[in-house]
Amino acid sequence: MDSTTSALLGALIGSAAALVSASLASLVALHNERKRHEEAARASAVQALRAAAAAAFTEFYNFSHAISWITWYAKHDPVSVDFAMARSYEQENHAAIPKLQGALAVVASLNFAVYEELQPLVHRLFVIDRHVSTAVVGLRDDRARAIAALGEILDDVNELQDRLPVELNRVMRLEG
């Protein structure tokens, strides 16, 4: 093999090595960029889910506060529980339910498993609300019994409210 052929062969091998090296570098860079993009998308989804869960818990607190408020008065100041307070409860309740359900719908749209994790709490809240609403309606027929029933619910709603921070923390950890 003469020197020209050797030089040409060396240049060809060098060019092939440079091409392979550049191709591998491009593939690695593309892989890294895809990973970075996937991680950013995941972080964004987790952030959106956390924001939605926080909004749902805020509405949960607002709704449970209305229950806590009327049941606290029934237990500690029963004379103050009148038809005006009952109407106020019904108005707050009527406004709170769609907000809570809307916030939960957003959570469900982002992550149905997290939504399902919230369902036992939501179910418990609606059971308590049903008892309160029944007692509030009962104020018309038997005020003493309705006030007693409302007062008995206070411990249940307080227990539920005490669980909320723990449940919020647990739910926030599910996807993060």
Q: Are 129 and 67 in contact (CB under 8 A)?
A: yes
Domain ranges across the chain:
48-174
CA 159/CA 155 separation, integer angstroms: 6
The proportion of the chain whose per-residue pLDDT surpasses 70, expressed as a percent, equals 98
SS3 for the chain is: CCHHHHHHHHHHHHHHHHHHHHHHHHHHHHHHHHHHHHHHHHHHHHHHHHHHHHHHHHHHHHHHHHHHHHHHHHHHCHHHCCHHHHHHHHHHHHHHHHHHHHHHHHHHHHCHHHHHHHHHHHHHHHHHHHHHHHHHHHCCCCHHHHHHHHHHHHHHHHHHHHHHHHHHHHHHHHCC
Q: CA triplet 171, 175, 176: central angle to 5 degrees? A: 100
Residues 6+ away with beta carbon under 8 Å from 81: 70, 73, 74, 139, 147, 150
Summarize pLDDT for 50-105 with one digit per residue, the tens. Answer: 899 989 999 999 999 999 999 999 999 999 999 999 999 999 999 999 999 999 99
In the prediction, which pLDDT does 1 show? 67
Summarize pLDDT for 2-29 with one digit per residue, the tens. Answer: 877 777 777 777 777 777 777 777 777 7
38-42 average pLDDT score? 77
Q: What average pLDDT does the chain have?
A: 88
